[in-house]
Amino acid sequence: MSAADMVRSRVAQIALLVVLLGAYPWLIGEFYVNLASQIFIAAVFAASLNLLVGYGGLTSLGHASFLGLAAYLSGWLTLKMGFTHGAAAPLALAGATLMAGLFGLIALRATGLGFLMITLALSQVLWGTAYRWVSVTDGDNGLARLTRPAPFGINLDHATAFYYFAALVTVLAVWMMARFVASPFGASLRGTRDQPRRMSSMGHDVWLLRWITFVYSGFWGAVSGLLFVYYNKYVHPTSFALTSSAEGLLAVIAGGSGTVLGPLAGAAIVVLLKNYVSGYVERWNMLLGIVFVLIVVFMPRGLVPGLRRWRERRSGGRA
Amino acid sequence: MQFWVIQTLNSLALGGLLFLLSAGFSLIFGLMRIANLTHGAFFMLGAYLGASVMHAVPNLWLAALLVGLAVALLGGLFERGILRKLAGNSLGQVLVTLGMAFIIADSCLLIWGGDPIPILTPPALQAPLRVAGYVFPTYRVVVVGIAIVVAIALYLLMEKTRLGAMIRAGVDDMDMARAVGIPVSRLFSTVFCLGALLAGAGGVIGGPILSAYPGLDADMLPLALIVVILGGVGSLVGAFVGSFLVGFVYTFGIALLPDLAYVILFLPMIVVIAFRPRGLFGRATT
């Protein structure tokens, strides 16, 4: 394939994606439009976690911190402080990103399992605080009766309007994150994952690379949190819970960590499983646990790398 | 004054329970490099099993022993059947323990339902203790005593027995331990079962204070994690000191600043991580 062909094929792919995403709500009922919106939210969340897990080699079990914090901040600012969405959204993002900066300072004192335990402990602290700090968070009742914003006067309360909004944010987020990992910075980050000592002796500040990634990942986690709270118009302490972080991690690992498409596919799988299967058996946590065990034992590299290898083997066989 | 005395005792009792939970967690982590996220679920399962066993065997201590053994058996099966297959893949192991924690927690909800199940204090310990004009709940004093006895027993096991020497060798240098012929694989199972036993029995012993309820695992696991982060992994002394530290900070946090108890919990963690990232008693590992 020549370079021009590659460009043409890439343009065709993007055009196809735009047409598919644009036409989807017109082809199908509202239930499925909402399902797609949920997949977008989970996809942004999983993709942001993937920056740490897949490219930084830092497995976090506390990523829900940033989703939950942005959601709570947005809810609290609009509901209790009388802010408009236009002011609350940037403040919520800034607050959650700032918290990511702080959490990064603490958690990155360790790597590996230590990092995992500290991120988990930190997110559980937020979880417990959300339950107990009733005057701010309304405790176990959660912040209810929230509203969706109306950017440029467009009412997002309609499923289709929200779908387009979420799709737009998701495409932007995924594109930005793909640019991030494809950049020289992303290459250095992968270097710190594979050979931290060598990177350090080559003069890279491994800690700083990791911290910047942590903050950037927290920022996009917060973006998914805003989408989350706009979609649900409600936020409860469970959005900080271990289950919430674990769902994101499952999406990353099921889809394939360290790939751009993997977490998106993984997020779709997790959301579909949650909506369909648990509609029949009402045992989502058990199912989540079982899927976790099965994926780790039988498909440790995830779906997307698995499929890619299978395709390469097929095309290799034909050549 | 009574307030401070009682809260101190409550802190000590919570610290004792946390020690039963986190000693095993810390040893498993130190030896096997597995962050066993199932540990909180073992504790909760222990509490529920204890409540049920006590219908048949109305003796808390016997129930704690039986339940501890049952949870140890479950832990052993889990370690041999699944964790063992993922040796060398520490991330995979953590994820599997997380999955297992969800499975156990949801099974408990399925079997025992959503309402809290109380576990009765042994009748002999129901009368409060009166010392120097203060009234103490007797059972909490006993829990502290149990934790101290277990701590001493574990200390002797680790420092004075052949098994303990092998465990310490494994924690310090796994490859060398293997090379000199220590059966590391059997050691793993032993330590994992021991940790599960302590967690399960701890759930029963904690029952009269905490009772068995859905979410007990999620309440206890972060406390145990903070204990281990504070104390340092693989260190019994660290688990002991960390448990009582967290017991005090958490109990007084809830009593004095109920809204922000969890935030206060996080302060000692930040200080310790900032100055001693391996924890108060953690040692550099190779």
User: A 294-313 residues with CB below 8 A of B?
Assistant: 296-297, 300
Query: With the C-alpha atoms ordered B220, B225, B230, B235, is the resulting torsion angle positive or negative?
Result: positive
In a domain, A36, yes or no: no
Task: Return the residue in A242, A245, A299 with the most chain B beta carbons within 10 A, the one to mutate for interface testing.
Answer: A242
In a domain, A144, yes or no: yes
Q: How many CB atoms within 10 Å of residue A27?
A: 9
In A, minimum Cα distance to B100 occurs at: A289
Provide, as residue numbers in chain A, all residues whose Cβ is less than 8 Å from the Cβ of B258: 132
In a domain, B6, yes or no: no
Q: Are A60 and A114 in contact (CB under 8 A)?
A: no
Task: Return the residue in B102, B228, B273 with the most chain A beta carbons within 10 A, the one to mutate for interface testing.
Answer: B102
Q: What is the mean pLDDT of chain A?
A: 88
In a domain, B153, yes or no: yes
Instruction: Please tell me the predicted confidence (pLDDT) of residue B184.
Output: 84
CB contact under 8 A, A288 and B110: no
The tokens describing A63, both together, are 């990523």
Instruction: Please tell me the predicted confidence (pLDDT) of residue A1.
Output: 58
Q: Are B221 and B158 in contact (CB under 8 A)?
A: no
In a domain, B5, yes or no: no
SS3 state of residue A106: helix
Provide, as residue numbers in chain B, all residues whose Cβ is less than 8 Å from the Cβ of A122: 266
How far does the CA of residue A24 sit from the closest CA of chain B (Å)? Answer: 34
How far does the CA of residue A125 sit from the closest CA of chain B (Å)? Answer: 5
Question: Using one digit for the tens of pLDDT, what is the confidence trace for A181-207?
Answer: 999 999 999 988 888 888 888 888 889
Tell me what the mean pLDDT of segment A39-52 comes to: 95
Which pTM value belongs to this model? 0.88
In a domain, B164, yes or no: yes
- List, in order, residues 6 or more apart from A315 with CB less than 8 Å away: none
Instruction: Please tell me the predicted confidence (pLDDT) of residue B42.
Output: 96
Instruction: Please tell me the predicted confidence (pLDDT) of residue A319.
Output: 43
Q: Domain span at residue B86?
A: 17-214
Beta strands, E only, chain A: none
Q: What is the pLDDT along chain B (286 residues), one digit of tens a residue?
A: 778 888 898 899 999 999 999 999 998 888 888 889 999 999 999 999 999 999 888 889 999 999 999 999 999 999 998 888 887 787 888 889 999 999 999 999 999 988 999 888 888 887 787 777 777 788 888 999 999 999 999 999 988 999 888 888 887 788 888 888 888 888 889 999 999 999 999 999 999 999 999 989 988 998 998 898 888 887 889 999 999 999 999 999 888 888 888 888 888 888 888 788 777 887 655 3
In a domain, B7, yes or no: no
In a domain, B36, yes or no: yes
From the list A133, A171, A161, A159, the residue with the least C-alpha distance to A43 is A171
Q: Domain span at residue A61?
A: 43-318
In a domain, B248, yes or no: no
Q: At residue B114, what are phi and psi to the nearest 5 degrees?
A: -90, -10
Question: 């009682």: which residue's tokens?
Answer: B6
